[in-house]
Structure 1
Amino acid sequence: MALQLRDELTRALLARLSLFAATMDRDAVLAPEAVRQARELMSCVADPARDPQAVGAVAGLYRARSMLLTGEAAAEALAIAEALRGLAGPGGDEEAVDDRPDEPVEETWARLVELDRRAALLEQAAVNSHGDVELLAQAEAAARATVSAAPRALLPQRASALRRLGSILRLRYEAQGDPAQLDEAILVLREAEVAHGSGHPDRGALATTLGVALRLRYERTNALGDLEEAVRFGRVAVAAAEDDRRAAASGPNGAEVDPNWAGCLHNLGIALRLRHERLGEPADLQEAQRLGREAAAASVPGHPGFGMIRLGLGNATTGEERIAAYEQALAGLPSEDPARPRLLGSLADALTQICVQGGSPAVAARAGTLLDEALAAVPDAHADQAQLLYLRGRLLTARLLRTGTTLGGVPTRQLEEALQCHRAAAVHPAATPRVRLWSLTHWANLAMAAGDVHQAAHAYEDAVALLPVLTPRNLTDTDTEHTLTALSGLACDAAACHVAAGDPERALALLELGRGVLLGRGLQGRDDMSELARQDPHTAERLLALRTALDTPAPATADRLTDGATAADTRHVLAGQWYDLLTEIRTTRPGLRHFLQPPPVSDLLTQADAGPVVVVNVSRFRCDALLLTRGGLRVVPLPELTLDGVRQHVEAFLTALRGFTDPERDFLEDPDRQDVLDLVLRRLWDTVAGPVLDALGIDGVSAHPTPQRLWWVPTGPLTLLPLQAAGYHREIGRPVPRTVLDRAVSSYTPTVRALAHTRGRADHSRRRSQGGNGRTRLLPRRTAPSGFLVVSVPEVPGADSLERAAEEAALLARTVAGARVLGGTDATRSRVLEEIGHHGWLHFCGHGVTEPDSPSRSHLVVHDPADRRLTVADISRLDLPGAELAYLSACGTAGTGAALADEALHLASALQLAGYRHVVGTLWETDDAVALDLAEKTYAALGAPRPVAERSAQALHTAVRTVRDLYRDSPWFWAAHVHVGM
């Protein structure tokens, strides 16, 4: 009851302050009842520091009274307000900002009303003119003046001024596309939220404005936390509107249609539709459609949101209902309505879809007319212009495809017009990154279809260059993965175009930039920063602190920090500081112009000194192997390899593998599935491995003291197949074997940059162990770990028992000198993470789980009641200089899913990123008896009891060949194990 009374009294005082700020009604704050409510409220507050909103409301009341009273009464009221502000701490009524302390309160109020009126008029004029940039700039200046002039004593008036400023900044973002404006809008609106309090009469309007801003930021960045908050604020706004409707119904005029009601339903519906598109929950879509229909029924022509509400309904529905919503809106809107261009574009887009599916030429013609009208109504500088140009380019492309126009040779007029639309949208200064990307890829595809590979290469290069913008550091790994899923194949297509244009060096550079984005983010800040530390140790420490903060997982909830900001807002600020600091370093520090950027191709080519690196690019345009050799970069075309063919092989391969997980089957007596695997391995030889090894002159019979090393960098769906096992393994006695295993020792690396990073760290550790170069070290020295750790988790609740895992751990304890076993209930998540940091060698025997759609959540299963997952994200955050070998005797630890294949993000690559020079992993679930046998043979070849990590690739190769020779007809047993790293 006390809490309920406290909340009721807080709302009552805030309502009084709002009435006073809006009307200057002196009785609102001077009435004895106001003082009684304030005193009763304070009696409900046990700890002022823990209840800043209630104390702030009382302080605001006495601050307002001090402005109206005179003499000792005014001084006493001011003293009470100051004392209460001190008790409440930073969350309470903050210091007054009043540059005119002697100004009568009536004049302060009048000045604020005039400033706010001017800002409101300019804001409305800008809206009516479809986001006129100059008017928006004037409106922003007026709103900032209002905020500056509003004393914190007039808390509700200040909150209203902040809300208007946030609304205008959001409109500026929508017009100009500057994300900094949207970020500031959200921070300003959060401050307004704190000032308003939960009981403020305008809480619904503020929740609407803040919810829309958060939804817009989600649409730009894919940050799911913003969308979840948009839904929450949307519900707050709807609840407030329902309260207002009930109050109106009980008033003297009876029930009236609340103009805000339909708008609140509409905004919540949009957020729910977007959440359905992200998470796939049918209930969200059903609710979005229901809300859209209710909002449409509650709005009639003349309603301020009539057009936008029907736009939202159309976007949430399909087919005839979608088109009907757009048509109804356009029929009821005047020609000058600012919502009209977006409705025209959306209707044109719906008609374009009909055209693509075989609609009549008349449908396409009408879509073109609608887009012409929309483009004419939107200012050239507005972001909507870019969206409409993109839609027009899509329509023209659909027309080309429908009429069967030949795209090769001399471009037709329609083709050139479509290209021009996409070019114009791509370079529009206010285009969102998403519209820019769509336009660039359509431009590139059209150019490629027309045979203009140079134009296609140019457009694709610009598209790949957008990846850092689309995946900023402030995004969580999960949000970044969602973005990258939609960009699958982009870098490979860009590389294919550059190979076709005769520029393989640029093709390699784009593959390195566009693949392994999350791994590349992890590499930033782990590269050698000794030169920066030598020049400016303070800046180096700042950069490391920012990286650490950004690498720290964001909390799952949107808890408030200061001034209403959430952890997500803080990550936006930190990311901005990170990019600003990188720019400062690159532009002001001698010799650091390319600091923490991907290495140039000339540096990548040096990675072939220890053996060739083979980057196999798989694209719908063409497939090639880029061979990094000591002699330079070579291209080997792979005409027999196609993207569709690889996908078919992956589907057949994975289907066969799933059959081996059936405990009722005898793997040796399942020849059909083994035959499928063998067929895919033979096709991999014919289409990829054979041509590559022949081009490199690696035949397996030439005089070499040891088999030649080879590093594979597959791309696209090819990452799911075992290139290292490609070949005709059932053939015996051929003078030149047709298998990779019999010709070379294979390793993998997710990107060439990752291999360079691993080798660079190893060289750096080696130099340190030899005494360094005499320079003063300005960053903390990390001691290289030593010792051999065996983590054995054979049994965990809810998973099959691994009978051989304990046997494997015991084997290693006997055969490896100094091996320490951490097993059973001791192998908790925190303990394993701690012990990994103290050991240079790691052997894990247990369960591994691959999460195809979110590889950062792939994990090793440990024994921990709280959290049994040791995830890729957990491991990637480790920093283990000098770590030697991690051997993962678990299922699927080097595999990923098709949607994010080009990220090559899995447990093995995470350990490589953490610092291990060598990692042994598996591409699929294996037989535990064979896994035990392979482990025993591998460590014997490593030189146990004192194994040598540098022999890792050769040792695994020897062990796998031995098992292969026993089970040539059964590749499931021996083809899964791979070596990753040096």
Structure 2
Amino acid sequence: MDRVRSAEEWFGWRPVPQPPLRFRRALARAGKALADYVLDADKSALPRMAKALDRIVDSAHFGKSPKEFRIACLNRAGIAHNWMGVDASNTNAELTTARELFTAGLAIVEPGSHDQARFDYNLGNTLLNLYQRVGDPELLGGAERHCRRAVENAAGDQRLEALCRTGLGSVLRTRIRADGDLSALREALHHVRIAVATAGETPMGHRFKFVLAELLSTRHEMHGGLGDLDEAIALLADAARVRDHMMSPGTLNPIVGTMGTLLRRRFLRTRDPEDLDTAIRLMRELVDGVPDPVPPALTNLGNALLTRYEHGGGLDDLREALDMQLRAVAATKPGDWQAATRHNNAGNALTALWRATGDPHLGDMAVREYRAALELTHDHAPERTSREYNLARALHTRGEESGDPTLLAEAVDAYDAAVRHGLDTAYEWALAAAQQWGAWAAARGDWAEASTAYAGATEAAERLFRTQLLRRDKELWLIESQGLPAVSAYALFRVGAVEDAVVALEAGRGMLLSEVLDQDRARLDDLVGTEHEPLVERYRAAVAASDEAARSGSSPSVLRAARETVEEAIDGIREIPGHERFLHRPDISDVRRAVPADSVVLYLVAGDEAGVAFTMDDAGEVRAVDLPATVDAVAQRAQALLDARDNPARWEGTLDAVTRWAWSAVVEPALAAAGTARRIVLIPFGFLAMLPLHAAWRPGPDGARRYLLDERIVGYAPNIRALEVAERLANQTSADQLAIVVDPETASGQRIGYAEAEAAWVRRWFAEPRVLRGRAADHGSVLTALSGAQVHHFICHGIARPDDPVRDALVLSGDDELTLAEILSLRLTSSGVRLAVLSACDTDRPGTVLPDEVVGFPTGLIQAGFPGVVATQWAVRSEATSLLMARFYQLWRADRRPPHEALCAAQRWLRDTTNEEKIRDLSPAADTPALRSLVRTLRLRDPKARAYGHPAHWAAFSFHGC
């Protein structure tokens, strides 16, 4: 009896009450069979348990037995038949018997009782199992009705309520996957999270965690959040520690199988080989040595092997993957709700082997499998998009192989369907399909079709971006869509839609920055004091809570709830007359409005075959011209600069060659469309952002070089929205207080030459500057100073980490680092900052992984609230830097030139003037010994010499913002 009671307690069952004497022997046999099944993993015990309980229920005396006894026996008999029915080797008869037993039990229980909740839960579970076998939607609807009533009646019993909520969650997840009803996802997660929170450590708690993991996996498929995947895998790893061989009998170990599937999926995002190797090892445990592996185990192992093949595996992996998938299809019974998935997986393996061998017969087989999958997939199911995409690619390739125009036309339709359905249910697949479709259309020269495809890709990328809560998730999807704004704009240019092209570029560059600026620049002050003030307070409180949740490392569920609250508050403000466009996506009118007076903005794009420049002047006129600049050519020049940086013998020659090419391929054609505005703001895309375009040059008529810097006042901006915000902040902020970091004391003891001279020239123009020198330039003091002054000047070492730019750093005393990640978390707009000058090496090197996000110090400081930033693209001699900074501040503070103009003028001055002329220009301001030291150095040189004519000395500096 101890064994029987242990088995009953594992499920939370009470002993069978009031058993009549005539039934006790059969009841004992049923109890022993239950114990053998639960405690010894004896699958043969299930039929014995069902047979013993059937004898009781079928007895002529059963109807006269005590009601509580009948309720318990009907429930246990139904559960036994349900367990047997889930086994893939059995027919539907067992599930039908379970359905009849649970229905009979519901007829005698008290309405609203816990007994009714148990029967409703069990009947709902049985109907769900039947649905998964035969696919009848009425069964799924019945399962949902019974599970909902079970939740209502389970209140007061913690374990029972958790079980019923989890049952409803499982039904809702199946409905989501069956017909694409996304509204059910949030409700399902709500119910199962409550179940895990209240009963997650009970004997059945691992099952609740398993269902929660499946729901998080479903949400990941739809919205792509890596946090959902991480949480699901952690839940499964925790659940797998519990011994439960009965869970979904016939599938061996669904927890292990699902964990393997999710590890494979995470590998596809992170490329961590340990995830994939672990996934294959787990999946093999469910197949190797098993006489008749079930289809889910076969197809999951096949998927993992195919993934390993695609990332460096051999043909043996591929052939085994195909064998697994074809075996899974063959073992699938009619009506199995996962039949479509197995056909699709078989198509994937056939496609891979087709590509590897070139055998067209395999291509025809793949098309047939994809067609079969789509025929079995509901029109609104989330998986439909990926299957349409797979069919489109197979038709595309097979059509080009065979020259069959019918297949090619069908491929276009399939791509189009994949994008349309994906924008409703699966953004990730919509993005993949649209990008593939757009590239194919562009290769055919069908620019109208390419524009349509890329418009879908842009929409999918934006939706993926908006639905992610963590910066790392946003960055992962931005990696997937890198280059999309450029190719989309080029396609629009080719069809003459230049304004739409500019909007595509503006919306797609610096999205991480723009999201923050959109929050900061929201003009809500005019609503304060009106009847709408509560909406403003609600919005501001929601944004503050969301920011705090992100900074404090809250869980994805908390972050998502916070973001949803922000979205609801935004929707409320948009209902106010005059605020309908609050935080809206930019359009051409926004771009026109943001162009500063007497300025022209140049969007510069390199393409596969050619590039394009779009110009927008302060009158709002948009022009576009071809550029002879290809992506490959730009990448080669950017790499050449990187390779020559540490080779003094090659550096100047390489810089000359790259900037000369930049004039012919980029600057000269763009200037032809730029009009006569004095100021040019460059917004270069891709690796163009890594070239010093302001130093592009051509030979003049007198043989001397003419640089872009000589033609116009040149600056850079992440995008025009950032420029607009910078212009506004610059106009409302003073520049009276200076904080200057001077040569922090580092462990290496490496000092910065001319640091004191440079610091003296900077301090010259401010009444009471705050100086953080040497050991005093520590991390805490510098952070404090950032919010206490309007101008910040750093004379220190810089560290560039292009592969991980948020770890770019300014080196402070004690080798502490002020990283870009820290700067990104700052909000200094309220304290009023005006300018940051980074007189340090490598502070203007955007990350190479996300070039269109221009992640680096200039963008980070603009996000933190600085309207203007001066930064450097490479290391410059200290003396040249000190002279340049001395003249820059002189022109800005004494001559009252705007900072962007002062920097350009100072660069020309450093380049063109003789030592004698430099002494003449600086001497009037050199009124202290510290200031005169730099002038004395010049007096020792040849008075007619121009030592800094080469762009290596002056072109490293660039101005960003306003």
What TM-score, normalized to structure 1? 0.78
Q: Distance in 2 between matches of 1:613 and 1:968?
A: 29
Change over 3 Å in CA distance of 1:896–1:552 after alignment to 2: farther
1:351-750 aligned at under 5 Å gives the runs: 351-357=350-356, 359-403=358-402, 405=403, 412-428=405-421, 431-472=425-466, 474-527=468-521, 528-533=523-528, 535=530, 536-552=532-548, 554=550, 567-586=555-574, 588-606=575-593, 607-620=595-608, 622-657=610-645, 659-660=646-647, 667=648, 670=649, 672-696=650-674, 708-728=678-698, 731=699, 734=702, 738-750=706-718
Residue 183 of structure 1 and its aligned partner are, at CA, apart by: 3.8
Q: Does residue 952 of the first structure (1) align with residue 899 of the second (2)?
A: yes
Match of 1:790 in 2: 740
Change over 3 Å in CA distance of 1:869–1:630 after alignment to 2: closer
Indicate the SS of the match to 2:608. coil
Residue 545 of structure 1 and its aligned partner are, at CA, apart by: 2.0
Q: Distance in 1 between matches of 2:279 and 2:359?
A: 31
Q: Deviations over 1:575-604 (max 9, x none)?
A: 112222222322x21011111224431342
Residue 348 of structure 1 and its aligned partner are, at CA, apart by: 1.4
Aligned length: 827
Q: Distance in 1 between matches of 2:736 and 2:140?
A: 62
| Residue identity in the other structure for 1:294 | E
Residue 745 of structure 1 and its aligned partner are, at CA, apart by: 1.4
Q: Deviations over 1:585-628 (max 9, x none)?
A: 22x21011111224431342241523111111223364211111
Q: Does residue 210 of the first structure (1) align with residue 212 of the second (2)?
A: yes
Q: Deviations over 1:324-381 (max 9, x none)?
A: 2212322333243333321221221233234445612111111111112222222333
Q: 898, 909, 924: which one pairs with 2:874?
A: 924
| Residue identity in the other structure for 2:589 | S
Q: Distance in 1 between matches of 2:830 and 2:791?
A: 11
Change over 3 Å in CA distance of 1:382–1:229 after alignment to 2: closer
Match of 2:114 in 1: 109
Q: Deviations over 1:886-907 (max 9, x none)?
A: 1111233232123211112321
Shifted more, 745-754 versus 842-851: the winner is 842-851
Change over 3 Å in CA distance of 1:491–1:358 after alignment to 2: farther
Change over 3 Å in CA distance of 1:274–1:309 after alignment to 2: closer
Q: Does residue 973 of the first structure (1) align with residue 953 of the second (2)?
A: yes
| Residue identity in the other structure for 2:497 | D
Change over 3 Å in CA distance of 1:864–1:879 after alignment to 2: farther
Match of 1:902 in 2: 852
Contact preservation (8 Å) 1:21, 1:109: no
CA RMSD of aligned residues (A): 3.4
Residue 793 of structure 1 and its aligned partner are, at CA, apart by: 5.3
Unaligned runs of 5+ in 2: 20-67, 69-107, 310-317, 913-945
Residue 914 of structure 1 and its aligned partner are, at CA, apart by: 2.8
Q: Does residue 170 of the first structure (1) align with residue 173 of the second (2)?
A: yes
| Residue identity in the other structure for 2:508 | G
Q: Distance in 2 between matches of 1:105 and 1:797?
A: 78
Match of 2:65 in 1: none
| Residue identity in the other structure for 2:535 | T
Q: Deviations over 1:83-135 (max 9, x none)?
A: xxxxxxxxxxxxxxxxxxxx9999823201221123213322443355x7665
Change over 3 Å in CA distance of 1:555–1:879 after alignment to 2: closer
Contact preservation (8 Å) 1:20, 1:26: no
Contact preservation (8 Å) 2:868, 2:961: yes
Indicate the SS of the match to 2:425. coil
Change over 3 Å in CA distance of 1:638–1:116 after alignment to 2: same
Q: Distance in 1 between matches of 2:203 and 2:159?
A: 10
Contact preservation (8 Å) 1:862, 1:870: no
Contact preservation (8 Å) 1:636, 1:695: yes
Residue 799 of structure 1 and its aligned partner are, at CA, apart by: 9.4
Indicate the SS of the match to 2:706. coil
| Residue identity in the other structure for 1:842 | H
Residue 435 of structure 1 and its aligned partner are, at CA, apart by: 1.4
Q: Distance in 1 between matches of 2:10 and 2:198?
A: 11
Contact preservation (8 Å) 2:840, 2:872: yes
| Residue identity in the other structure for 1:956 | L
Contact preservation (8 Å) 1:857, 1:872: no
Q: Does residue 860 of the first structure (1) align with residue 830 of the second (2)?
A: no
Match of 1:194 in 2: 197
Residue 922 of structure 1 and its aligned partner are, at CA, apart by: 1.5
Q: 908, 919, 926: which one pairs with 1:961?
A: 908
Rg bigger for which structure? 2
Q: Distance in 2 between matches of 1:354 and 1:214?
A: 32
Match of 1:334 in 2: 333
1:197-346 aligned at under 5 Å gives the runs: 197-198=200-201, 200-240=202-242, 243-244=243-244, 259=250, 261-297=252-288, 300-301=291-292, 303=294, 305-318=296-309, 319-346=318-345
Indicate the SS of the match to 1:685. helix
Match of 1:91 in 2: none
Indicate the SS of the match to 2:612. strand
Change over 3 Å in CA distance of 1:556–1:212 after alignment to 2: farther
Q: Deviations over 1:37-93 (max 9, x none)?
A: xxxxxxxxxxxxxxxxxxxxxxxxxxxxxxx9xxxxxxxxxxxxxxxxxxxxxxxxx
Change over 3 Å in CA distance of 1:920–1:118 after alignment to 2: same
Change over 3 Å in CA distance of 1:358–1:761 after alignment to 2: farther
Shifted more, 516-525 versus 206-215: the winner is 206-215
Residue 853 of structure 1 and its aligned partner are, at CA, apart by: 4.2
Indicate the SS of the match to 1:883. coil
Q: What is the identity percentage for the equivalent residue pairs of Structure 1 and Structure 2?
A: 27
For CA contacts below 8 A with separation 6 or more, give which structure has more relative contact order.
Answer: 1
Q: Distance in 2 between matches of 1:399 and 1:926?
A: 56
Contact preservation (8 Å) 2:870, 2:958: yes
Q: Does residue 148 of the first structure (1) align with residue 152 of the second (2)?
A: yes
Q: Does residue 836 of the first structure (1) align with residue 782 of the second (2)?
A: no
Q: Distance in 1 between matches of 2:347 and 2:109?
A: 57
| Residue identity in the other structure for 1:118 | L
Q: Distance in 1 between matches of 2:238 and 2:289?
A: 19
Indicate the SS of the match to 1:554. helix
Residue 910 of structure 1 and its aligned partner are, at CA, apart by: 2.1
Indicate the SS of the match to 2:573. helix
Residue 909 of structure 1 and its aligned partner are, at CA, apart by: 1.8
Q: Distance in 1 between matches of 2:715 and 2:277?
A: 50
What TM-score, normalized to structure 2? 0.79
Residue 934 of structure 1 and its aligned partner are, at CA, apart by: 2.4
Q: Distance in 1 between matches of 2:625 and 2:392?
A: 33
Indicate the SS of the match to 2:613. strand
Q: Deviations over 1:189-215 (max 9, x none)?
A: 2211122142x2223322222222223
